[in-house]
Amino acid sequence: MWPTRPGESVGALRAVVLVALGTALMALSAKVNLPLPYVPMTLQTLVVLMIGAAYGWRLGSATMIAYLAEGAMGLPVFAGPVGGIAPLVGPTAGYLFGFVGAAFVTGWLAERGWDRSVVLLFAAMAVGHIVILAAGFGWLAFGLGLGAAKAWQVGLAPFIAASLVKNALGATLMPAARRLVDRRG
């Protein structure tokens, strides 16, 4: 992990700064929320997908793992008033762990050119949203035992329209984000 070749120390420092920036953006986006029963609606999914697309699958996934670790350590980075383990085993757990998979898949697709057009990036972000929503739905339905019908009602249906809007917003904002954090340079 430690830099061993010339220039790697700059790359490692850049990665640390980007992870810190990403986890800070995740924490801020968690605080912009609409409280709903079971799971609040936040801007986190937009930020997760943009981080994945801008950082790539490796750094994007690492950023989400760091974010979850910050919350597990008790930092107030999640949407609710508490940090610690509770959000990672409560109703939001599936969504939170889905962030890692969403950053991975969105970053992987972006690295393969899906970030070159608004339409393809919208599709990549839609796949990322599907990962998050499927993880959240699965946890609510089976992990917490709500059943499929109730999990659909409280954990999936309320988020579909907002996900489409966030995909469009993210795909539109990505050129600006790419200029700030160019993973190709």
* The total number of structural domains that make up the chain: 1
Q: Is residue 122 part of a domain?
A: yes
In this structure, of 38-52, 104-118, 170-184, the range with the lowest mean pLDDT score is 170-184
Q: Is residue 73 part of a domain?
A: yes
Q: Is residue 155 part of a domain?
A: yes
Residue 166 has pLDDT above 50, yes or no: yes
Percent of the chain with pLDDT over 90: 79
Q: If you average pLDDT over every residue of the chain, what do you get?
A: 91
Q: Is residue 185 part of a domain?
A: no
Query: pLDDT, tens digit, for every residue of 20-50?
Result: 999 999 999 999 988 888 888 999 999 999 9
Query: pLDDT, tens digit, for every residue of 119-155?
Result: 999 999 999 999 999 999 999 999 999 999 999 999 9
Q: Mapping DSSP to helix (H, G, I), strand (E, B) and coil, where does residue 82 land?
A: coil
Cα–Cα distances (Å) from 176 to 10, 168, 173, 180, 183, in that order, read: 23, 14, 6, 7, 13
The DSSP bridge partners found for residue 41 are 34
Q: Is residue 3 part of a domain?
A: no
Per-residue buried b or exposed e for 145-161, using 16+ beta carbons within 10 Å of the residue's own CB: ebeeeebeebbbebbee
Residue 117 has pLDDT above 70, yes or no: yes
Cβ neighbours of residue 117 closer than 8 Å, sequence gap 6 or more: none
Q: Is residue 2 part of a domain?
A: no
- Dist. CA 61–CA 70, nearest whole Å: 14
Range of the domain at 29: 8-180
What pLDDT was estimated at residue 7? Answer: 57
What pLDDT was estimated at residue 2? Answer: 37
Q: Is residue 101 part of a domain?
A: yes
Give the domain CATH number at 37.
1.10.1760.20
What pLDDT was estimated at residue 1? Answer: 34
Confidence of residue 10 (pLDDT cuts 50, 70, 90): low
